[in-house]
Chains A and B, each alone.
Chain A
Amino acid sequence: MSCIEQMKYKLYLERTSFKEAREYIEKNSEEVYYVDPGYKIFKDYYIIGVPPVAMGVRGGEMLFTYVKPCHGTFVMGIDSEEEIARLRENEEKKIKKSLKGGVRDKAEAKAAPMSFSEMYRN
């Protein structure tokens, strides 16, 4: 049993499909972040899910999917400023990484084009 079940949580959807749970989070959160399956929250819960796995922020509450093999998917909400801050930080890192990739791609793109006259110059 994960530590999550011993925490103070709210259940917003119970025994539903993963797709419905994702849609609920997308529609009912002020901020939505997407993480990979296996993203770790709290002490020992690794998110189970079909990518893209949505995680929501509503006020001080984090909304996320919790999957149990025999019971389906649940949408849970737990108050945690710490986990919300980690989600935002994770998103910032992703943006920075993609920006860096973009700059590198641009640099490569700049070097690549060459005219026929340049090609035959030597």
Chain B
Amino acid sequence: MSEGKSALLVMGCPEVPVQMSMVIYLTHKLKKAGWDVTVAGTNAAVKLLKVADPESYYVQKMVDLDRLIADVVEKKIDFDICFAFMHSDAGMTYGATFSAISKARLFAVVFGKNAEALGESIDYPAEKIVAVAAHNPAPLKVKIDKVAL
């Protein structure tokens, strides 16, 4: 049962379109399964999400990524699971940080044109969900749907 359990979705740079689509999809899916979902991102990513979901129908809890990292390090908050979205070296680095500071079961959601190479470069504890996907979310959705929680 996932009732009362908490999930964190960490958005990377929002320049690859599939990220926003998959964040909204996964938030909806997790909420329906009883998870308490928080989405963290940069200013730009959070703004995109707020405009796409103006009445917070899909995402109720949105937080600034740097603020959240501070709170996890200071042990003010933590989560049961964490999905870190990444399509670049910087995103991969944020994933490594969550792997080190949080006790959450970590999923590295790797997408974009170089997803396979980026996925191979991840050597920290994380379950990898890798799909070469930039504009079409279907390959990533298929992989995410296979995750057993």
Answer whether A and B are interacting partners.
yes
**A residues apposed to B, CB below 8 Å:** 2, 17-19, 36-38, 40, 44, 46, 48-51, 67-73
Given contacts A69-B88, A72-B90, 18 further A-B contacts (CB under 8 A): A18-B93, A36-B101, A37-B96, A44-B70, A46-B66, A46-B70, A49-B96, A50-B124, A51-B96, A67-B94, A68-B90, A69-B13, A69-B94, A70-B15, A70-B44, A71-B90, A72-B89, A73-B89
- Is B119 an interface residue when CB atoms closer than 8 A count as contact? no
Q: Could you tell me if B69 and A38 are in contact, using CB atoms closer than 8 angstroms?
A: yes
Option from A17, A46, A49, A70 in Cβ contact (under 8 Å) with B73: A46
- Is B133 an interface residue when CB atoms closer than 8 A count as contact? no
**B residues apposed to A, CB below 8 Å:** 12-15, 42, 44-45, 65-66, 69-70, 72-73, 88-94, 96-97, 100-101, 124
Residues of A within 8 A of B93 (CB): 18, 48-50, 67, 73
Q: Binding site of B, secondary structure by majority: helix, strand, loop or mixed?
A: helix
Cα A65 to Cα B100 in complex, Å, equals 16
Residues of A within 8 A of B89 (CB): 17-19, 72-73
Cα A17 to Cα B65 in complex, Å, equals 20
Cα A29 to Cα B96 in complex, Å, equals 24
Residues of B within 8 A of A49 (CB): 93, 96-97
CB distance from A23 to the nearest CB of B (A): 14
Residues of A within 8 A of B65 (CB): 69
Cα A37 to Cα B45 in complex, Å, equals 23
Cα A95 to Cα B100 in complex, Å, equals 21
